[in-house]
Amino acid sequence: MQHLGLGVLLAIEGEPGLQREALVSEPALDRAERLANLLASIVESSDDVIVSKNLDGIITSWNKGAERIFGYSAAEAIGQPITLVIPEDRQSEEREILTRIRRGERLDHFETVRRRRDGSSIVV
């Protein structure tokens, strides 16, 4: 069994000694769904760039702020490498970031330069 917080408990079906009854209450699921929807709305409506990527550096989410600042739609950016917005002379930065994250290190905020669709630079 794996405990995931918010009172949610998941079990692997067929695990010995487990009953097939639901292990998560409906009110807990409703609260979790409302919270997830609220957070998604906050991210989507933010004027700030909010982008997520996986450990391979592939963009997995791209909000309206990112569309406005970088000039790529979410459909164009999601699934692409994050290097889409990283200038050639800053590519080593991204390799270092991913290496540190894989090691479990915390990254502090830092100032850098990124590239818009039109090729212009922006300090972030």
Could you read off the pLDDT of 8-37 as tens digits, one per residue? 444 444 445 545 555 667 788 888 899 999
* 84 Cβ contact list (under 8 Å, min separation 6): 59, 72, 77
For residue 3, is pLDDT > 90?
no
Mean pLDDT over residues 82-98, rounded? 95
Q: Is 64 exposed, middle or buried (0-12, 13-18, 19+ CB in 10 A)?
A: middle
For residue 7, is pLDDT > 90?
no
Could you give the percent of the chain with pLDDT greater than 90? Answer: 60
Mean pLDDT over residues 107-115, rounded? 92
Q: What domains does the chain contain, in order, with CATH numbers?
A: 1-45 (no CATH), 47-124 (3.30.450.20)
CA atoms within 13 A on the CB side of 50: 12
For residue 1, is pLDDT > 50?
no
